[in-house]
């Protein structure tokens, strides 16, 4: 018998005796452990009222209470970093992950990797799940569609570094390529090779990197060519979507010496496919220069001129920045770290210039 003990006290004693965990509550309620964690932290924005009521009933039934003392005064590092990637199928991501993994090994850290498939809902869920698993910090290659959610994480002092894709608001450390400077270099090169009109081919402006590269192109084009910028958005990454854009670009620039700048390796591949289908050859019909030095770019028709990004170094610097925050200065102001790129000139822009 428990003389003078309340019902709640009995449940608390029962919970301690049975060592009921968040996993038990999740199983009983029929939801994920992440959902329980969000409930306990008062984050109900993506949770139905029915789910909230069911979770509350299960918690009361099991007598579960989180060990806030252990959570709040955790003194040991887990030696684990979470990495959230927007598109793991991209060669950029594999190189980035290699840099992260190699640097983590140096610091004695393990890596937990997830892929969102550019889905903002998955991004939120995976970040919350990683926090639940007590990772020491998170490296995020963001979808660019969760700014309000991410700003809340910044207010909660979650150690997080953005890899490649910046936010409009500087709330976190960001490590990315210095694409503005190299865009001016690339357009200057195209001008020197005698091209008189350059269009930018890219996917829609859904993340910070695309916005930065689009802005850099427009500024550089006005300064170097003295013309209105020409941006062509590839709505779907398939040949059928690119061909009409190439035809439009030709019509818009009839009589000009035309070249194309692409914003990433995926866009480069689509443009090359489209040019082949239309029977267009580079460098004389249309020159082409693009971001990302992927292996195939050196093999196509004696090579495509590319902007080589330091993707491996971006991964390493993300880890180093997290280590600085974890072990030296967690309150340091957010920094934007930009790493230099290199223009590799190949056949695709090597047209003969009449001087």
Strand partners, 308: 342
List per-residue pLDDT tens for the chain, 355 residues long: 333 334 344 344 444 445 678 888 888 888 888 888 777 766 666 778 888 888 888 887 887 766 543 443 344 678 899 999 999 999 999 999 999 999 999 899 999 999 999 999 999 999 999 998 889 999 999 999 999 999 999 998 899 999 999 998 899 999 999 999 999 999 999 999 999 999 999 999 999 999 999 999 999 999 999 999 999 999 887 768 899 999 999 999 999 999 999 999 999 999 999 999 999 999 989 999 999 999 999 999 899 999 999 999 999 999 999 999 999 999 999 999 999 999 999 999 997 665 4
Measured distance CA(261)–CA(288) in Å, rounded? 6
- Contacts by 269-272 with C-beta closer than 8 Å and gap 24+? 269/296, 270/201, 270/234, 270/237, 270/238, 270/239, 270/241, 270/242, 271/201, 271/242, 271/246, 272/300, 272/304
What's the CATH class of domain 7-72? mainly alpha
pLDDT at 52: 83
The secondary element (H helix, E strand) that includes residue 83 is strand 80-85
Q: Distance of CA 339 to CAs 53, 163, 316, 317, Å? A: 50, 12, 11, 9
Q: What are the backbone dihedrals phi and psi of residue 171, each rounded to the nearest 5 degrees, phi first?
A: -105, -20
| 80-177+311-339 and 179-309+342-349 share one fold | yes
Report d(CA 284, CA 351) in Å as an integer: 6
Who contacts 341 (Cβ-Cβ below 8 Å, separation ≥6)? Answer: 177, 178, 179, 181, 182, 307, 308, 309, 310
Dihedral angle over CA of 341, 328, 124, 316, nearest 10: 30
Residue in the structure block whose two tokens are 């926090």: 131
Q: 10 Å Cβ neighbour count for 281? A: 12
C-alpha 8: how far from its chain's center?
46
> What dihedral do alpha carbons 290, 296, 298, 300 form, nearest 10°?
-90
User: Using an 8 Å Cβ cutoff, are 286 and 262 in contact?
Assistant: no
**pLDDT for the residue 114:** 97
CATH architecture of the domain with residue range 179-309+342-349: 3-Layer(aba) Sandwich (3.40)
CATH topology for the 80-177+311-339 domain: Rossmann fold (3.40.50)
Residue spans per domain, the chain: 7-72, 80-177+311-339, 179-309+342-349
Q: Tokens 């252990």 identify what position?
A: 70
Kindly give the interhelix angle for 91-106 and 311-327, rounded to the nearest 10 degrees. 40
Question: Are 214 and 243 spatial neighbours (Cβ–Cβ below 8 Å)?
Answer: no
Q: Are 285 and 351 in contact (CB under 8 A)?
A: no
Question: Which pLDDT score is estimated for 69?
Answer: 37
Instruction: Give the per-residue pLDDT at 247.
Output: 96
């Amino acid at each position: 018998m428990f003389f003078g003990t309340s019902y709640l006290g009995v449940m608390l004693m029962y919970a301690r005796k049975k060592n009921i965990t968040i996993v038990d509550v999740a199983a009983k309620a029929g939801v994920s452990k992440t959902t329980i964690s969000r409930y306990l932290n008062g984050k109900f924005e993506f949770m139905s009222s029915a789910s909230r009521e069911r979770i509350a009933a299960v918690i009361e039934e099991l007598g579960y209470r989180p060990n806030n003392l252990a959570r709040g005064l955790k003194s040991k590092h887990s030696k684990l970093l979470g990495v959230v990637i927007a598109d793991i199928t991209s060669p950029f991501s594999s190189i980035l992950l290699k840099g992260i993994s190699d640097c983590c090994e140096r610091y004695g850290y393990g890596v937990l990797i997830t892929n969102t498939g550019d889905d903002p809902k998955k991004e939120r869920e995976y970040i919350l799940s990683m926090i639940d698993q007590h990772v020491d910090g998170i490296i995020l290659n963001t979808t660019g569609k969760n700014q309000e959610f991410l700003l809340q994480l910044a207010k909660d002092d979650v150690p997080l570094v953005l890899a490649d894709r910046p936010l409009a608001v500087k709330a976190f450390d960001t490590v990315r390529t210095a694409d503005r400077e190299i865009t001016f270099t690339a357009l200057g090169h195209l001008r020197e090779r005698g091209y008189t009109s350059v269009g930018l081919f890219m996917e829609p402006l859904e993340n910070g990197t695309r916005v930065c590269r689009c802005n850099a192109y427009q500024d550089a084009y006005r300064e170097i060519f003295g013309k209105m910028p020409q941006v062509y958005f590839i709505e779907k990454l398939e040949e059928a979507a690119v061909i009409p854009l190439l035809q439009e670009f030709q019509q818009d620039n009839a009589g000009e010496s035309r070249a194309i700048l692409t914003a990433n390796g995926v866009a480069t591949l689509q443009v090359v496919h489209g040019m082949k289908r239309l029977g267009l050859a580079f460098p004389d019909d249309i020159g082409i220069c693009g971001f990302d030095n992927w292996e195939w770019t050196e093999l196509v028709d004696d090579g495509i001129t590319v902007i080589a990004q330091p993707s491996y170094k971006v991964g390493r610097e993300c880890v180093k920045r997290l280590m600085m925050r974890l072990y030296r200065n967690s309150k340091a102001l957010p920094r934007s770290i930009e790493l230099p790129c290199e223009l590799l000139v190949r056949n695709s822009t090597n047209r003969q210039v009449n001087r």
